[in-house]
A = this chain, B = another copy of it.
Amino acid sequence: MDIGFLGLGTMGAPMARNLLKAGHSLRVWNRGAAPREALAREGAHACDTPRQAAAPVLISMLAHDQAVRESVLDSGLLDALPEGAIHVNMATVSVAFARELADAHAARGVAYVAAPVLGRVDVAQAGKLNILAGGEPADIARVQPLLDVLGARTWHFGARPEQANAVKLAANFCLASAIGTMAEAGALVRGHDVAPADFLAMLTSTVFAAPAYQGYGGLIARQQYSPAGFKMTLGLKDVRLALAAGEAKHVPMPLASTLRDGLLEGIAQGDGDLDWSALAKVSARRAGQA
């Protein structure tokens, strides 16, 4: 299949690579040149502008709303897509912007599917992402073979693309809360002279034996916040987007508010580039433990 692929960051690059390996033809674009040149050496066609990546199927994995706005809406790319094209946007974007995107695509007769993902880099490399899809079932069906290359499973959350974005933001809020909860609980036991690592080892091998807790619990236990898998600044952005998605539908989220304030506090201390599991530093400092 002829695919345009935008965004070759830590997640996008291995995803594009998997599509290449599966035999698809890729026109790749990325803001920085190095990643697109790397993909070109593996057989992709490197593009100098987003518009050059026009193809019957467009996949984007960009960093945030503004990057999508510039490369998809402002670049003229949408108008350059061939008749019958479909755009699969796998980025985590705001619900409000997701709806704007859906409208912009509909106005130009381009099919639009939101397909944000759960899973970190190693999962992307293995092609085992969980894909959260929103859009017309027929549209999703058209690109299902490609989603099957990228992910272990595709979950459908409704005919309106932004529904999948709401689910993605809800899931990231759950991750933030798991981290923040281990942070507080760790400070509590440490106050009583129990090593957080001992507590977390028990917790994550019993009632909380899940990837999210084991992964982040391990980082907290080892106080290993750098290099960041997901920076506090990005965590703050996603929690803020979850709060906004709630506000749009009048859903108060006091736990999310509390997590927002904690992430903001960590960033204010200069830790914005640390992994968001550094919420444990915030809890420790509040308790006078650090």
Contact = CB atoms under 8 A, between A and B. Distances in A.
B166 A255 contact: no
Contacts of A103: none
B166 A192 contact: yes
Name which of A157, A167, A184, A259 has the most chain B CB atoms within 10 A of its CB: A184
Given A193-B158, A207-B210, A250 B262 contact: no
Main secondary structure of the interface of A (DSSP, over half): helix
A147 to B, nearest CB: 15
Nearest to A184: B253
Interface stretch (A71-79, A175-183, A223-231): A175-183
A268 B287 contact: yes
Contacts of A189: 157, 163, 166-167, 170
A169 interface: yes
Interface in A232-272: 236, 240, 242, 245-262, 264-265, 267-270
Contacts of A198: 155, 157
Interface residues of A, number: 77
Interface string A187-231: 111111110001100110011111111000000000000000000
Oligomer: number of copies: 4
A130 B210 CA distance: 17
Contacts of A177: 177, 181, 255
A118 interface: yes
Nearest to A240: B247
A185 interface: yes
A249 B194 CA distance: 12
B260 A199 contact: no
A188 B251 contact: yes
A171 B203 contact: yes
A261 B252 CA distance: 5
A47 B181 CA distance: 43
A288 interface: yes
A84 B250 CA distance: 45
A40 interface: no
Contacts of A118: 206-207
A254 B254 CA distance: 9
Contacts of A171: 185, 199, 202-203, 207
Contact of A286 (B181, B252, B287): B252
A5 interface: no
Given A166-B192, A173-B188, A207-B210, A268 B255 contact: no
A62 interface: no
Contacts of A212: 207-208
7 contacts: A170-B185, A170-B188, A174-B208, A184-B246, A210-B213, A253-B261, A254-B257
